């Protein structure tokens, strides 16, 4: 089994002032258990993490820590790049979902769904309720 880690999990983990900080710590401790398999994230998620941390904290150190954690600590998470094929799938998914304003998803969220579909990722770790009913959540 593989679990994709969404940006809000990483942001909450690294920002001790975040309301979900303890929840993120507990969840990531749980996801280290062998039954959960590999943890993965993408470049689009990394972009959200770095941008959000910078905008909310203006602390260069926390942004650098996030970048290093995601890109250079493979025992924490496997970092993957979004392929052109996944981008095309995400665009088609976004166009389809944009027809239903009651379920608005960002293009990055559509990239997450498309990456999961294309790479047989079974679960998503997120605090974002927009994914409810769209994928298996941890």
Domain boundaries, the chain: 2-18+28-126
Tell me if residue 123 falls in helix, strand or coil: strand
Helix axes 107-118, 84-97, angle to 10 degrees: 120
**110 or 97: which leads in pLDDT:** 110
Residue 104 has pLDDT above 80, yes or no: no
**What is the rounded CA–CA span in Å between residue 43 and residue 126?**
16
Please determine, for residue 102, whether its predicted confidence score (pLDDT) is greater than 90: no
How much is the mean pLDDT over the chain? 94
What was the pLDDT predicted at 72? Answer: 95
Q: Which residue has the higher pLDDT, 46 or 133?
A: 46
What integer is the mean pLDDT of 29-36? 90
Strand partners, 39: 3
Q: Is the pLDDT of residue 103 over 80?
A: no
Phi-psi label, residue 120: left if phi above 0, alpha if psi -120 to 50, beta otherwise: left
| CATH number 3.40.50.300 is the correct assignment for the domain at 2-18+28-126 | no
pLDDT tens digits for range 35-78: 888 999 999 999 999 999 999 899 999 999 999 999 999 988 99
């Amino acid at each position: 089994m593989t679990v994709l880690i969404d940006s809000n999990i990483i942001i909450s983990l690294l920002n001790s002032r975040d309301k979900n900080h303890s929840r993120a710590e507990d969840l990531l401790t749980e996801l280290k258990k062998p039954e959960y398999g590999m943890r993965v994230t993408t470049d689009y998620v990394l972009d959200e993490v770095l941008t959000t941390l910078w905008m909310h904290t203006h602390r260069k150190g926390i942004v650098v820590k996030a970048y290093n954690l995601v890109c250079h600590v493979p025992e924490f998470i496997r970092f993957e790049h979004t392929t052109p094929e996944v981008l095309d799938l995400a665009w088609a998914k976004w166009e389809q979902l944009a027809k239903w304003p009651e379920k608005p998803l960002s293009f990055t969220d559509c990239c997450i769904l498309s990456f999961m579909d294309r790479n047989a990722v079974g679960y998503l770790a997120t605090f974002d309720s927009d994914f409810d009913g769209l994928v298996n959540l941890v």
